[in-house]
Structure 1
Amino acid sequence: MTEKKPVFFIIIAGGTASGKSTVARKIAHDLKNKPVTHLSMDNYYKNFADLSFAERQKINYDHPHSLDIDLLSKHLTQLKNRESIDVPVYDFKTHSRSKETKKVEPADVVILDGLLALHIKEIRDMADLKVFIKTEDDVRFIRRLERDIYDRGRSTESVIAQYLNTVKPMHDAFVAPSMDLADIIVPYYEGNDRAVDLVTTKVKAIIRKNNK
């Protein structure tokens, strides 16, 4: 019986709109000779479909309690065992899960990005490499404002209120302290591809070592 090759698991954490998904996609692209699976913790919010839309709007989505950690842990374990998973599809316009799921196949490298990916111990302990994306607060806020207005149909007032009431306090309480748990801290801004290249080079070196 052929022994399964180990799956290399990368966590990418950082504040809202810090560039986590962008960095994850860049790493996946640079590892194009390796099968790579990219997951976002954004799809693992708990299903609040039983609540009214007004009630869902009041939920603190930046607190760890808003995430379905059990399902995410189960899925990551399945991917590490080279089993396929059905990832929930989250609708940010309605603050609820879609009825659809997305089939994700196992790969040699699994990349997970999320605000709280380093804060949550069950997830952090599974990682082979832990990365934190450090981006200036004002840059992150402007990016989030534009994203939530144009992509998620939010009003300027609602985005600002959410940022002040939950996003920033939760960042200070959970996200920023998790930077100390990272193996690599990437100062990210537009065009800083060298930092991503360094991470990719490190990943390639570790994978080669693990597969000897």
Structure 2
Amino acid sequence: MKKLIDGVIKHILKNRNCVIRISGHGAAGKTNLAEEIMERMEHDTFNYLNTDAYIIPGEYRKSLGAVYEYENEEYRGKVTACLPAAHELASLKRDLLMLRRGMDFLTIDADWAPEKIIHADRPFTIVDGMSTTFLEDRLFDLSIYIYTDGETELARRMERDVNDRGRSSEALISSHHQRRIQYELFMHEKRDEFDIVIDDTVGRFTVEKNSVMI
């Protein structure tokens, strides 16, 4: 991990006005990685944008249905955040283009993250979240994709979503299989568009791809 963070910081410092995306499935370790990078940077030199606020709330997705085929079997399930339809992609793209064109913007106000200004004059911006997976890579100067296996994801979700966020463990377990299928079908193949790909499954931290030679 330290070697990777050292390389990312070195790359960032060489490329001013740098927009970095960190993406992957839920509980993959995106925010932990973002925090490790931010701890090494001076506070007033960067923006941090968590894109969870661009995910359409579940109450508005209840009436939507996803139909897909996996291993020669048809599935019907709810629209999870592993599908592009669950995200306000046009709004996120607009905000990133504003930033690139030198304009500040105000983040979406949420209970877990009050609104704040993203400052265009700051040299670095870290954009953290699943929504970034479905945007064009041209919007970013450095792209990092992180993932785990299904067992690790579920264990981390149980610790975070049940213990910290009050979700039902039964609901989490019942939705896990379908969420992983949707992830494999609609998200995981997107990793090929990223500069750095990391497997952060418990027991290993492996950089599988590094095309920027950091």
How does the TM-score come out when normalised to structure 1?
Answer: 0.71
Alignment of 1:38-117 (within 5 A): 38-46=48-56, 59-90=79-110, 101-106=115-120, 107-117=122-132
Identity %: 23
Deviation at 1:152, TM superposition (A): 2.1
Q: Tell me, yes or no, if structure 1 residue 142 matches structure 2 residue 155.
A: yes
Q: Tell me, yes or no, if structure 1 residue 188 matches structure 2 residue 200.
A: yes
Distance 1:134 1:144 in 2: 13
Aligned-partner residue type, residue 61 of structure 1: A
Which residue in 1 is equivalent to 2:144? Answer: 131
CA RMSD of aligned residues (A): 3.4
Deviation at 1:8, TM superposition (A): 0.5
Distance 1:154 1:182 in 2: 32
Which residue in 1 is equivalent to 2:6? Answer: none
Aligned-partner residue type, residue 152 of structure 1: R
How does the TM-score come out when normalised to structure 2?
Answer: 0.70
Aligned-partner residue type, residue 124 of structure 2: V
Q: Deviations over 1:169-208 (max 9, x none)?
A: 221012211121111122336798997xx99x94xxxxxx
Residue pair 2:145, 2:197 contacting (<8 A) in 1 also: yes
Distance 1:67 1:164 in 2: 21
SS of 2:48's partner is: strand
Q: Deviations over 1:75-96 (max 9, x none)?
A: 111222332221113458xxxx
Which residue in 2 is equivalent to 1:9? Answer: 19
Aligned-partner residue type, residue 146 of structure 2: I
* Cα separation, partners in 2 of 1:59 and 1:174, compared to 1, 3 Å: closer
Residue pair 2:24, 2:147 contacting (<8 A) in 1 also: yes
Which runs of 5 or more residues in structure 1 are unaligned?
A: 93-97, 203-212
Which residue in 1 is equivalent to 2:182? Answer: 170
Residue pair 1:116, 1:175 contacting (<8 A) in 2 also: no
Aligned-partner residue type, residue 115 of structure 2: T
Distance 2:58 2:170 in 1: 23
SS of 1:117's partner is: helix
* Cα separation, partners in 2 of 1:35 and 1:65, compared to 1, 3 Å: same
Deviation at 1:74, TM superposition (A): 1.2
SS of 1:185's partner is: strand
How many aligned residue pairs are there?
183
Which runs of 5 or more residues in structure 2 are unaligned?
A: 1-14, 65-77
Which residue in 1 is equivalent to 2:69? Answer: none
